[in-house]
Structure 1
Amino acid sequence: EDLLFAAGYVKDDDYSDRDEYKVGKYYHYDQYYTLYDEEENELDKVSFVTIYQKAEEYMEDDTFVRTYWNCLYVE
């Protein structure tokens, strides 16, 4: 994250599909980082993806599975 900020990226959006899955299934949470030019045109976007296993309703925390970076623009 620090390298992205140093390169001019901003943290600007997130997404989770947790509500689409039943207990025990895996879901993801994405945090998006975007690089803009001087005219605020989007140049690049990457996401930091965290995978969880959805917990029983009475449990407070879902189970962490893994994380990875995902490049959204591949040329």
Structure 2
Amino acid sequence: MSRQLRWSEIIPLFAFWPGVRKIIYTANAIESLNSQVREAVLNKRHFWSDEAAIKLIYLALRTVQTRWNRSPVQ
């Protein structure tokens, strides 16, 4: 896909008020976090206890946090 085609998909977002755009961006971040935690849980499938599930979710969140804290590739 060329850059021009991608740009035409992004332009409509700028029609929203800044407050609405912030909500859209926040929703995208929440959905991303949810999908990454869900992926970690689905890969394991079964847990011996609730504590084991909580530990796995904690580790998944730590992994996500380290990815989000990395500086962007330049």
The structure richer in helix per residue is: 2
TM-score normalised by structure 2 residue count: 0.25
TM-score normalised by structure 1 residue count: 0.24
